[in-house]
Amino acid sequence: MSQHLPQDLALSLTYAPDTDSTFAVVYGCNEHQTRAIGQRVQSVGVQTSYPLSMLGIFAELERERLVAMVDKLVDGFALQSGRLESRMTDMSNAKALEYLGLCLESRKLVDNIRAVKRQNVKLLAEIDEFGSYFASLHDEAHPDARKKARQFKKAGNQMKKRLQDILNEYDDKIDECNMIVGNTTLAMQTAWNQIARHDSDLNTKIARANTTIALETKREGIQMRSIALLGMVYLPFSTIAAVFSMDMFNWDAKDGETVVSKYIWVFATFAIGFTAITLFAWHHITCRHERKADENASEIQNKWFELNKLP
């Protein structure tokens, strides 16, 4: 009756009114189900003459199978929900797929239970139609028709009552499966909300740290600007004082002597040379640090992409 589930069953039933015989073939039975069918047939007693009694036995087998599957699923969910509550933030891809598998399995089970329910509802209508058929027979053409009609009506009523109980139990099992889906969805949503809140708190702390760094950088920038301003004010005076204090100038020159020394070119040569060497060293060191910083940034970015890559 329910497809795509373990231990699926199928039933073929034929009733011969002339010989009052019922022929039934159940497909897909294992040894346990075969023994269960034999025991139920023996326990039915005189009601084995009721042609639809085999359908009732088949409905009981389906009920046992589906209820056992739902109970097993609910037990597994109860165990996993305890681990989920203790590790709300541990939502790796494997864990998420595990909980998603629970939801999909419960939904598939609900679909199969609903399919079985539809067949049982059809069986309820068939019981009424079958009872009406025997009630319309006449004793002249069919001896003992009224007696059979009463027997079949009694057996049919009992079977309808049991089928209605099975339908109510199926409704309860559907609610349990829907509970699994709802609770799993709620638990996963709660876990993702906690992760999002944790990320938000972390981003807030990072923003505050960046604000502190920016303020410190601003203060240092103001201080550096003050130092640079002082340097711009005093550097020309210091340079002029240093130049005029050298022995390259003779301010008390007498007749025939020059104020500027003839070795002034030595000072100019060394000054320009050392300035060029200093600028070259500064440029080389700065470029090397920039390349190293770019390489480190690229390496960090690649590692980040590898860590966040989906499996």
On whether the CB atoms of residues 123 and 163 are closer than 8 A, the answer is yes
Rounded to whole angstroms, how far apart are CA atoms 1 and 50?
21
From CA 146, how far away is CA 139, in angstroms rounded? 7
Best mean pLDDT range from 141-155, 224-238, 295-309: 224-238
Q: Does residue 12 register a pLDDT over 50?
A: yes
pLDDT(284) > 80: yes
Higher-scoring residue by pLDDT: 309, 243: 243
Q: Round to whole Å and give the CA distance between 21 and 13.
A: 11
pLDDT of 84 > 70? The answer is: no
Average pLDDT over residues 53-59: 85
Cβ(260)–Cβ(279) under 8 Å?
A: no
Residue 168: pLDDT band by 50, 70, 90 thresholds? very high
Percent of the chain predicted with pLDDT > 90: 4
Question: In the predicted model, is pLDDT for residue 310 greater than 50?
Answer: no
DSSP state, 26? E
Three-class secondary structure of residue 254 per DSSP = coil
Q: What is the spatial distance between Cα 234 and Cα 210, in angstroms, rounded to a whole number?
A: 35
